[in-house]
Chains A and B, each alone.
Chain A
Amino acid sequence: MKCDEYDVVIVGSGIAGSVMAKTLTRAGKKVLLLEAGLQAGIAMDKEGAYQNYQFYLDTYYKAAAKVPNSPYPNLPDAPSPDVLDIAPIPNSCSPSTKGYLVQAGPIPFASDCYRGPGGTTLHWLGSTPRMLPNDFQMQTKYGVAVDWPFTYYDLMPYYEMAENEIGIAGDVKEQIGPDVEPVKNYGKDYVFPMQKIPQSYLDQTIIEITNGKTVTVELNKKEYTISYVATPQGRNSIPEPAYKYAGVAWNKKTQKLELEKTDAEYDPVGSLWDPYTGQRCEGNSSCVPICPVQAKYNALKTLRTADHDNLDIITQAVASQVLYDKGSMDITGIEYKKYRYGNSPIYEKGIAKGKIYVLAASAIENAKLLLASGIANSSDQVGRNLMDHMVMLTWGLLPKKGFPYRGPGSTTNIPTFRDGDFRKEHAAWISPIDNWGWAWPTFAPGSDVSNAVGQGMFGKQLRDHLSDIIPRQLLLHFECEQLPEPGNRVTIDPRYKDQLGNYRPVIHYNASEYMQRSFEAAKKVSDQLYKAYNVQDFTSYSAQNPDHVQYKGKVYNFAGAGHIVGTHRMGSDSNSSVVNPDQRTWDHGNLYLVGCGNMPTLGTSNPTLTMTALTYKAAEAILKQLEN
C-alpha cells in the first residue's frame, strides 16, 4: 500500500494494537502499524510463521529457567522486562539496574511483559474472567480508589466482542460468586463461543476432598463459604452449538461496532501455520510461556485476519518520540528508530504520519513514550497509578494424589473473596487453583529431585519418593488487587537509556498497608483451607526474597501476576485522568491510548479481556471521529 499519510498510525502489535488494526482495516481505513520487535516474529505466511515459532519453542526447551519471556528474543534495541532481573534494591539513590527496568523501589516491581510481535499474549496464561460491576465503583461502594467513568453494563457489549475475538471457552451458567450471577452479569441466554475447558483432576480432587461438605472460613469475624468456578479462558475447546456470532464489524449507518450473527458453527481458530493444528487445547501444560500448538489465543491470530490490503507494518521500528503542533496540540507524527539487527546500535530514523495516532505499546511503554515526548500530561497522571496483582502463593502436600503438572495453568478459581465489604480495609483477591504443582515458588519438580538426591536417595527409593510427593503438590494463588497510588509509577531519567538512546523505564513501587493487610487476611484463609483439605503446609516466606513485606512482625512474599495496569488512567475529567471514556487523550484531539494503562482500577480479573473490550470501545470512537 505505502502511502504518505495513513488514517491511523498504531504503535505495537500486541492484542490492543492488533484488535485496533483489524477493526479499522476491515472498516476500510488505511493503517500503519509500528512494531519494535523482529521482522521474523510477524511472519504471516505458513512457512515463516512455523519456522519462527519453532525457534521460540526450541529456545524454551533449552532455557535453564523457563520464565515467561524465556522463549522470546530479548533485544538490546527493544529490551523486555524480565522476572529473572528482579534483584534487591539497596536504597532509592542506587536503583537496581540489572535488567531493562530501572527499579527504584523501595521494592522491585515483580512483573514482566514482552515487547515483540504479538506482545505479551504470546506468554499469557489465557484466563479471562470479566471484572465485577462493583469493581467499576470502588469509590462509591467502598470509599477507596476511584470509580470508572462508566459502568460494567456500559462495557458489556464490548466484552462480548472481546470474547468473540479471543475465542473464550467457558460455561456462563457456572459463573456464580460475589457480585456475579449469569443473567445479571452476562445477560439472558448469553453463551461463550466454546464449551468450558475441562476442570483438572487436581481441581476435582480438591473440590471433592471434603466429601461433599462445604468448606467455610472465617475472616474479620465473618463466615465465608468457599465455592469453585471453572475459569473462562482464551483457549480452544469444543464449539458451543448455541453460540451464533461471526465477528465484529463496523456499521456505518448506526456508527457502531456490532457483533454479526451467523448460523454457522463457531470454528476454533488454529495455529498460524496450520488451521487444523491447535483446534483444541492438547494439554501441553506450558501455556506460560508458550503454547506449542497455538490452541491458546495470541494476538497474531487477530493481526493475520486484518485486511492486509489496508495495512502496512513496519517492524524493528521503536517509537521514540511523539511529535505535536504546539499551537493546535495535534499530534503530527511519530518518530521511530528502525534498527538493522536486534543487537546493532545502527538505526535509521523515520516519521510515521496519520490523521489519528494510537499508542498500544503496553502500560509501561505507553507511559514512557508520553513522558519522553512531554505530552498528554496536563493532569500529571502519566506514569502514575501503576498496578499489578500482588500474588501471594501458598503451597502444601495433599493427602492424596491430585496429579498436577497436567493441563492449562489453571482451570478453576475460588471467587469467594473477589468482592465484599472488606474492600474498605484490604484488597480483594481471586484464588486460582494452580495446575502446575510447586513450579512457581520452588522450581519444582527439578528442586524435588535435587533435594532428594542431595539427601543421598537413589534407585527405587528415589523413584518411589518422587512419585509420592510430586503428584500431591498443591499451589494456591491469592491474587490481591492493588489499588491506584500516585507514588507507584513509571518515570524517566536521562541517566538511564538503552543503546538506541531511548529511555528505560524507571519504576517506583511499594506495597501499601491496604495490600499488606490483604496478605495477612489471605494467609489466614489459606491456613483454614489447608486445615479443611488436610493439606500439609510447606509455604515458606523469606526476607531474602526481594519481593517481601513485613507486616505485624511477619514476612510475606509476593510475585507479580504480569498484570501491568494503570499508568495512563481513564476518567471523567481532565484534571485527574489522562484519557477520556473514549480513551482519547484529554490534551490531544487525535491521540488515543489503548491497553491496560487506561484501567482506573484493576479488580480481581486478569486484565486482558477487559482491556480488549476497552479497545473495541476506542476503535468505535476512532471510526466515528474519522467519519465525521
Chain B
Amino acid sequence: MSKFFQKNNPKRQRFVPEDKPDKSLLKGRAMADTAPPDPEEIKKRLLENLQQAIKLEHSTIPPYLCALYSIKDGTNEFAVNTIRSIVVEEMLHMVMAANILNAIGGKPAINTKDFIPGYPTKLPMIDESFIVNLEKFSKASVDIFLQIEKSAEHPEHDGDDYHSIGEFYMAVRRDLIKLNELTNGEIFKGERQPQVTSEQYYGSGGKLIAVYKLEDALEAIDEIVGQGEGIDNTIDDPDQEMFGEDIEYAHYFRFNEIYHGQKYKPTDSVHDDPSGPPVNVDWDAVYNMQLNPKMSDLPEGSPVWQKMYDFNKTYMALLNNIHDACNGQPSLLITGVGLMYDLKYKAIELMKTPFGEEGLMAGPSFEYVQ
C-alpha cells in the first residue's frame, strides 16, 4: 500500500507533508538551549493551537457553502457533488480537532463571537497573502479554494507564523508527540464521553476518529492534513496511480477538476493539471450573490434584513449545537444535522432574494447574532 493513502481506507488519498523541523521547537531551543522542554508550556500551546485549529477548519466552511448554495438547482452536478463532499469533510475535520482538544482536557469554544471570521478575511493562523470572501461560485472563488487547499513549497523561514495549514498542523503533531512522551501518555485522558464518534457523524469520506490516545490523535491529524495539504515536490511515486474512479481525491484535486472543467485520468501526475475527460461546469448557472453581504448593509428590520437575521439565528443555533455536542453531549449532533439542512434552505432563499442594486442577490452573511 502506498504511503499516499489512508490507513483505514486504502482508496483514499492522504498527503502528509515531509516532517521538517518545527519552528516552535526550534524557537524554544534557541531561547533556552539546554533546558528540557516544559510540559506545561507545550500543553498551553497545544490547547491554544487546537482551539485555533477548530477555528481554522470552520473558517473555510462559510466560503465553500456560499459557492455551493449559489449554484442553481439542477445545474453543475459535478461541482455541487464535489463541493458538498468537501464541506462535509471540513466539518468532519472541525469535529476531529475538537475531539483531540477534548482528549487532552481542553474545552472547545465554538459559539463565541470571535470564533466567526469577519469576511473578507485571511485564514486564522495562516500568514498568506490571499483573502477569503463570502462569494458566489466562480472561477475566481474556486481559485481561492485551490489556494486554501494547496500548500506550496515554502522556504525555511523565521518567525512563529505558519505559511500553510500543513505547517501549522505539523507543529501541533510534534507538540502532541512530545507532550505524550513527557507525560508518559498521561496527557490523554481516554475519556469516552466527550468524544464525538461515527454514531453521530456520517456521510463523509473520512471516518470520524474518536481520540483516546496519541495514535488516535495522530491518525486524526493525518486525515485532516492528508486531504488538503503537503502537495509539494517532496512527494512523488511514479509507480503509484493516484487517480481513478475508485480513488477518493484530496480536496485540492477535487477543486482543480472543477477549475479546469476536466477530470484527472489514472496516469496523470499530481503535479500536473487534469487531462482526462471534460466535465460540464456552467459558471453562469449561478445566483448573482452580493460579495461579502452584511446585515448592516440594510435598514434594520427591513424584510431582507429580517431574512438575513433569521439565517444568522439558525447559524448560531447550529454553532451552539456543535459547541454543546463537543462539550460533553455528542448525541446532540444528530439534531445538528437538521439545523445544517435548515441553514441550507434559508441560504438558498437568500440567494433568490434581490439585494439592493439591480441584479444582485442577497446571501448568507454568517454573522454572530444574539
Contacts and interface: CB of A to CB of B under 8 A. Distances in A.
Whether A and B touch directly in their complex, counting CB atoms under 8 A apart, is answered as yes
Contact of B85 (A239, A265, A276): A276
Contact of A276 (B77, B199, B205, B245): B205
Interface string A40-59: 00000110001000100000
B199 A280 contact: no
Interface in A266-302: 268, 274, 276-277, 279-280, 282
Given A45-B245, A238-B199, A239-B199, A276 B88 contact: yes
Nearest to B88: A276
Contacts of A277: 203
B81 interface: yes
Nearest to B245: A46
A274 B11 CA distance: 13
A71 to B, nearest CB: 16
B204 interface: yes
The secondary-structure label for the interface of chain A is: loop
Bin the interface of chain A by size: 10 to 19
Contacts of A45: 245
A535 to B, nearest CB: 28
Interface residues of B, number: 12
Nearest to B78: A47
Contacts of B341: 282
A274 B205 CA distance: 9
B245 A279 contact: no
A274 B81 contact: yes
Interface in B57-93: 77, 81, 85, 88
Nearest to A268: B202
Interface string A9-52: 00000000000000000000000000000000000011000100
Given A45-B245, A46-B245, A279 B202 contact: yes
Contacts of B202: 268, 276, 279-280
Interface in A249-272: 265, 268
A240 to B, nearest CB: 10
B280 to A, nearest CB: 12
Nearest to A58: B74
A280 B245 contact: no
Contacts of B198: 239, 265
B203 A279 contact: yes
A204 to B, nearest CB: 16
B81 A276 contact: no
Contacts of B88: 276
A280 B202 CA distance: 8
Interface string B170-204: 00000000000000000000000000001100111
B117 to A, nearest CB: 27
B198 to A, nearest CB: 8
Contacts of A279: 202-203
B9 to A, nearest CB: 10
A238 B85 CA distance: 20
Contacts of B204: 276
Contact of B203 (A50, A239, A276): A276
Contacts of A265: 198
Contacts of B205: 276
Interface string B261-279: 0000000000000000000
A279 B77 CA distance: 20
A403 to B, nearest CB: 13
A274 B198 CA distance: 18
A238 B202 CA distance: 9
Contacts of B203: 276-277, 279-280
Contacts of B85: 274, 276
Contacts of B77: 50, 54
A228 to B, nearest CB: 22
A50 B82 CA distance: 14
B281 to A, nearest CB: 15
A119 B174 CA distance: 55
A238 B197 CA distance: 11
Contacts of A54: 77
Contacts of B199: 238-239
B79 to A, nearest CB: 14
A397 to B, nearest CB: 27
Interface string A204-243: 0000000000000000000000000000000000110000
A279 B81 CA distance: 16
Nearest to A54: B77
A248 to B, nearest CB: 24
A292 to B, nearest CB: 13
Contacts of A268: 202
Interface in B81-116: 81, 85, 88
Contacts of A276: 85, 88, 202-205
B200 to A, nearest CB: 8
A200 to B, nearest CB: 14
A265 B208 CA distance: 13
Nearest to A46: B245
B72 to A, nearest CB: 15
B33 to A, nearest CB: 49
A44 to B, nearest CB: 11
A74 B85 CA distance: 34
A280 B88 CA distance: 14
Interface in A169-203: none
A276 B77 CA distance: 16
A277 B82 CA distance: 12
A55 to B, nearest CB: 12
A280 B200 CA distance: 10
B202 to A, nearest CB: 5
Interface in B259-303: none
A50 B81 CA distance: 11
Interface string B215-237: 00000000000000000000000
A279 B205 CA distance: 11
A274 B80 CA distance: 13
A282 B77 CA distance: 20
Nearest to A265: B198
A308 to B, nearest CB: 14
A268 B77 CA distance: 24
Interface in A55-98: none
A54 B78 CA distance: 13
A46 B82 CA distance: 14
B196 to A, nearest CB: 13
A293 B205 CA distance: 16
B135 to A, nearest CB: 27
A282 B88 CA distance: 15
A238 B334 CA distance: 10
Contacts of A280: 202-203
A46 B248 CA distance: 13
Contacts of B245: 45-46
A277 B77 CA distance: 14
Nearest to B11: A275
Contacts of A239: 198-199
Contacts of A282: 341
A276 B205 CA distance: 6
A238 B341 CA distance: 19
Interface of A: 45-46, 50, 54, 238-239, 265, 268, 274, 276-277, 279-280, 282
Which 9 residue pairs of A and B lie closest in terms of their CB atoms, listed nearest first?
A279-B202, A276-B203, A238-B199, A279-B203, A276-B205, A280-B202, A276-B204, A46-B245, A277-B203
Given A239-B198, A274-B85, A280-B202, 11 more contacts: A46-B245, A50-B77, A54-B77, A239-B199, A265-B198, A268-B202, A276-B202, A276-B204, A276-B205, A280-B203, A282-B341
Interface of B: 77, 81, 85, 88, 198-199, 202-205, 245, 341
23 contacts: A45-B245, A46-B245, A50-B77, A54-B77, A238-B199, A239-B198, A239-B199, A265-B198, A268-B202, A274-B81, A274-B85, A276-B85, A276-B88, A276-B202, A276-B203, A276-B204, A276-B205, A277-B203, A279-B202, A279-B203, A280-B202, A280-B203, A282-B341
